Chains A and B, each alone.
Chain A
Amino acid sequence: MKIRLKLSRNLHDEITDHLQQPHPIALERVGFIACAGANTDDGFLLLGRSFHPVHDDHYEADTFVGARISSRAVQAALMIAYGKPQSMLFVHEHAHKGCPGPSRVDLDCWRELIPNFWHVRPELPHGGLILSEDRAMGLMWVPNQTEIFPIDDFSIVGRHLRRWTEEERG
C-alpha cells in the first residue's frame, strides 16, 4: 500500500509559520492538518485541506516532557473530524534540514492520540506528521490494519513542485 501526501505551498507555509513561533511553555508547537482523500490504484492520496493549530491555552505543563496538549485540544481536533469526513494528521516540526525522525516521545504520543480519531471517523486513516526545514515523515493508522504505515511520497504543490520519497531516508 502506497500512501502519498500533498500539501499546497500556501498551506505548508501557513503550517510552518505557526509551528516555528515560540510558545510560553512548550518547546514545540503542534497542530492538526485536516485532509481530503482519494484512492489510487496502489493505495491512497491525502490532500491537505486546512490547518488547525493548537490554541496557546491548550498546552499544559508536564513533568516528564515539559509540556503536552490538553484534553481540550484533543476535543477540538475531534470536532473537526466529526464535522466533516476527513483524515487528521497531528503535526509538529523538527528544526533541522533532512529527513526528520520521530522520537520515542513522539511515537508514544501518536500511539495514544491518533486512534482517538476513529471514535469520530472510524472509516478513515489518521496519522502523525513531522516536518523538518526541507523534508517530512509521517506514519498512518489505517482502519482494520494492525500494521502502521509510513507516508511514502510527499509533495508541496505550488509554482515549484517539491517532492520527495520515504525511500530517500535509506
Chain B
Amino acid sequence: MANSQSRQSFLGDDSEEILISVTAGLVGYSGGGSHFGQQLAHVGVGNFVIVDPQLIEDTNLTRLVGGTSADVLAQTVKVEIAKRLIQSVRPDATVDIYQDDWRNVVSALRRSDVIFGAVDTYRDRNEVERQARRSMTPYIDIGMDISKIGDEFHISGQIALSIPGGPCLWCLGILREELLAQEAADYGHAGVRQQVVWSNGVLASTAISMFMSLILPWSTTPMPLLLEYDGNRGTVVPSMKLQYVAQTCPHFSNDTDLGDPFWKLSKEIADGTE
C-alpha cells in the first residue's frame, strides 16, 4: 500500500487496488455530483464516467465544488470542471466526460461498477435507476428539498442505495406515481429549486460512505439502504420506512428487466472489425 493511503489503511490491504480498478458513473455534476467527484478522487477511485449537459453559470458558484468565477466567465462545461478537479487530486485517474444527456451515453455508463445520481427530477431518478438495474449496477441516489412551511424553511433530503435484487426507489417510497404525475403537470413552472452546499455535502458524504461499505465492507454493520436528512436539526438517521419494506423488489423481478431487451452486438463486433 502506498504511503499516501496510510490514513485509510483500515479499509484493507488490497483496498487501494480495488479502488483504483473501480469505475464510478456520475449522472449530474452540479451541487451533489461535484461532491461525489471530489470525494471519490480523494478516496482513490481510478475510473470515472461523468455525464452532465450543462455549462457552469453564476448561480452554480454557491454549490458546485471546484467551480470558479473564472469558469463562469469562460462558460466552462461542468464535466470539464469535474475532470480538472479529479485529475488535480489523481493525475492517473481515467475520467471520461460527456457533455450530454445521460440517455445518449448509456453504453458508456454501463461500464460503471456503481452509478451515483444527483439529478433534479423524479423522472430522471426513475430512468437512471431503471438503466442501472438493467446493467445490474448498484445505484446511489441523493435528493434534497427546501420547502417553506408556515414562516420557516425546512431542509430535508435522503440518501438511498438501490442494489439489484434488493429494494428499489419505488420500494423505498422515493418514487411514487403521484410525484411523477405532479412533476409532469408542473413541467416548466417549477421555478428555481433551492439548493445549498452544506446540505449537498452531508448527503454526498453519506452516499460515499454507502459506496465504501459496498465495495470495501470494512465494518460488519451494514449501512441502511435509506437514510433521511433533517437539515434543520442536522441529523441523518435510518428511515423508518425500512421496517416496512420487503427485502426483495417486485418492481424489477422479471427476466426481461435485465440487459438490453433488443441486444445485438455492436456493428464493429458483429462485422468482425473489432
Interface residues of A (CB under 8 A from B): 1, 4, 6, 8-10, 35-45, 47, 49-50, 84-85, 123-125, 142-146, 155, 157-161, 163-165
Contacts and interface: CB of A to CB of B under 8 A. Distances in A.
B222 A163 contact: no
B258 A49 contact: yes
B110 interface: yes
B255 A84 contact: yes
B258 A36 contact: yes
Contacts of A158: 163, 165
B30 interface: no
A143 B265 contact: yes
Interface string B206-234: 00000000110100001000000000000
Contacts of A157: 136-138, 163-165
B108 A155 contact: no
A49 B260 CA distance: 12
Interface string B241-269: 00000000000000100111001111001
Nearest to A160: B217
B196 interface: no
B141 interface: no
Contact of A161 (B215, B222, B259): B215
Contact of A47 (B108, B163, B259, B272): B259
A41 B104 CA distance: 12
Interface of B: 18, 21-22, 105, 107-108, 110-111, 113-114, 134-138, 163-166, 214-215, 217, 222, 255, 258-260, 263-266, 269-272, 274
A165 B135 contact: no
B171 to A, nearest CB: 15
A26 to B, nearest CB: 29
Nearest to B114: A161
B259 to A, nearest CB: 3
B110 A45 contact: yes
B5 to A, nearest CB: 19
Contacts of A42: 111
A9 B258 contact: no
A37 B134 CA distance: 9
Contact of A163 (B108, B113, B163, B258): B113
Contact of A142 (B22, B263, B265): B265
Given A9-B165, A47-B135, A142-B265, A41 B113 contact: no
Contacts of B266: 39, 44
Contacts of A123: 264-265, 270
27 contacts: A1-B269, A6-B136, A9-B165, A10-B165, A35-B259, A37-B260, A37-B263, A39-B265, A41-B108, A41-B110, A41-B111, A42-B111, A43-B269, A45-B259, A47-B259, A49-B255, A49-B259, A50-B255, A143-B270, A144-B270, A145-B272, A146-B272, A155-B136, A157-B165, A159-B222, A163-B21, A165-B21
B263 A36 contact: yes
